[in-house]
């Protein structure tokens, strides 16, 4: 057993011109979340409790795209989604289409622990949230002024944005030499999105959690990779994985499960498995992931310009970064 390890992400696909202050704010938030997780792990919390705790913190801060500060749909509303998975017994819970739940990741946990199902969406998920008595918020809590402005820009450009952290249209077009497309529509890829956390605890139990508002200007009803077990999130006896990036590409590659599969069936180590999956299963420039193995390794991998990320291990290693 290699001791505990933790990794967090605040999204892949970072604008290379992202203002320095923004970069510093992101790194501070990631550091705070890592510290929170480390403290919980040192107090013997289980991997599943730690991933939920850390993702709740990320959802509550409006900096990244989840919970408060979620990206907006084409109609200016939020439709949040999340999933969580507990490796040892491969238990999981997922939610989509949330409009009032303050912490979607905790509702996903309740689906796993307190419902007979694995995945609840839209009105059914909201009804379950009310039954469970989770904290609810009105629309104004989730919709930030900045996101309203970004939605307007996205609409003007007839563009679906991975996120909304590119401050102006000019900056967006300056960063993208050949506009990238998703199913024929232009997208901006140089921005962060989605949050996630993976943990292996000192007993070698792995867990993973992912939460997002999805894409700016997305269609009503669009579901991305984040709530899909095996695509955006996966945990089992050998590893825990949380993905971030263009959901449609991650879904096509069943990215998170693929990391576990090549470890299980090809006998690869965690670093080799992550490299293999990014190389073989993911279109260039689309996404990234964080992963831990049951023997205490931690790996962050991505093929975008950057990925907001941080990781730490029991032996004192800690790192927070954005670029390659």
Q: Verify binding: residue 192, ligand GLY, rule CB under 6 A.
A: no
* List 66, 244, 303, 304, residue binding ligand GLY (CB under 6 A): 244
**DSSP string computed for 5-32:** EEEEEEEE---TT--HHHHHHHHHHHHH
Q: Catalytic site residues?
A: 194
Q: Verify binding: residue 227, ligand GLY, rule CB under 6 A.
A: no
| Neighbour order of strands in the sheet with 206-212 | 119-121, 91-98, 80-86, 206-212, 195-200, 5-12, 306-313, 318-323
SS3 per residue for 27-65? HHHHHHHHHHHHHHHHCCCCHHHHHHHHHHHHHHCCCCC
From the list 69, 34, 27, 66, the residue with the least C-alpha distance to 53 is: 34
Cα dist. 166→147, 235, 274 in Å?
11, 32, 28
Nearer to ligand GLY, 57 or 225 (CB): 225
* List 52, 79, 201, 225, residue binding ligand GLY (CB under 6 A): 225
Q: Verify binding: residue 247, ligand GLY, rule CB under 6 A.
A: yes
Size of the site for ligand GLY (CB under 6 A): 12
Residue 76 C-beta: closest distance to ligand GLY, Å: 17
Considering only the stretches 35-43, 46-54, 172-180, 222-230, report the one whose residues sit in contact with ligand GLY under the rule CB under 6 A.
Answer: 222-230
Q: Verify binding: residue 226, ligand GLY, rule CB under 6 A.
A: yes
Residue pair 185/159 in contact (Cβ under 8 Å)? The answer is: yes
* List 47, 111, 215, 299, residue binding ligand GLY (CB under 6 A): 215
Residue pair 176/103 in contact (Cβ under 8 Å)? The answer is: no
**Residue 57: which residues within 8 A CB-CB, separation 6 or more?**
32, 33, 36
Residue 194 C-beta: closest distance to ligand GLY, Å: 4
Nearer to ligand GLY, 193 or 258 (CB): 193
Nearer to ligand GLY, 172 or 289 (CB): 289
Considering only the stretches 107-115, 130-138, 148-156, 207-215, report the one whose residues sit in contact with ligand GLY under the rule CB under 6 A.
Answer: 207-215
Considering only the stretches 92-100, 152-160, 199-207, 239-247, report the one whose residues sit in contact with ligand GLY under the rule CB under 6 A.
Answer: 239-247
φ, ψ at 286 (rounded to 5°): -105, -30
Distance CA 128, CA 145 (A): 29
Q: Verify binding: residue 194, ligand GLY, rule CB under 6 A.
A: yes
Q: Contact positions toward ligand GLY, by CB under 6 A?
A: 193-194, 212, 214-215, 224-226, 244-247
């Amino acid at each position: 057993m290699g001791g505990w390890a933790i990794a967090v992400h605040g999204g892949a696909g970072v604008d290379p011109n992202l203002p320095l202050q923004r970069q510093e704010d992101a790194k501070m938030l990631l550091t705070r979340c890592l510290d929170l997780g480390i403290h919980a792990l040192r107090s013997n919390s289980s991997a599943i409790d730690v991933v939920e705790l850390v993702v709740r913190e990320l959802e509550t801060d409006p900096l990244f795209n989840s919970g408060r500060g979620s990206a907006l749909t084409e109609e200016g509303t939020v439709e949040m989604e999340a999933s969580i998975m507990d490796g040892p017994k491969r238990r999981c819970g997922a939610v989509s289409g949330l409009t009032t739940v303050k912490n979607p990741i905790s509702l996903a946990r309740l689906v796993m622990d307190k419902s007979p199902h694995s995945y609840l969406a839209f009105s059914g998920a909201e009804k379950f949230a009310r039954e469970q008595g989770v904290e609810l918020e009105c629309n104004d809590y989730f919709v930030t002024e900045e996101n309203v402005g970004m939605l307007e820009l996205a609409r003007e450009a007839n563009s679906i944005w991975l996120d909304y952290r590119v401050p102006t249209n000019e900056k967006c077009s300056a960063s993208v030499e050949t506009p990238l497309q998703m199913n024929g529509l232009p997208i901006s890829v140089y921005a962060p999105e989605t949050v996630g956390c993976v943990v292996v605890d000192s007993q070698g139990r792995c867990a993973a959690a992912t939460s997002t508002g999805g894409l700016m200007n997305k269609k009503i009803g669009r579901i991305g990779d984040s709530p899909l077990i095996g695509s955006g999130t996966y945990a089992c006896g050998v590893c825990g994985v949380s993905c971030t990036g263009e959901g449609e590409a991650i879904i096509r590659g069943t990215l998170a499960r693929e990391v576990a599969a090549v470890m299980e069936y090809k006998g690869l180590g965690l670093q080799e498995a992550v490299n293999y999956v990014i190389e073989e299963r993911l279109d260039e420039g689309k996404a990234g992931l964080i992963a831990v193995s049951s023997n205490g390794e931690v790996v962050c991998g991505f093929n975008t310009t950057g990925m907001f990320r941080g990781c730490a291990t029991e032996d004192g290693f800690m790192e927070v970064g954005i670029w390659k």
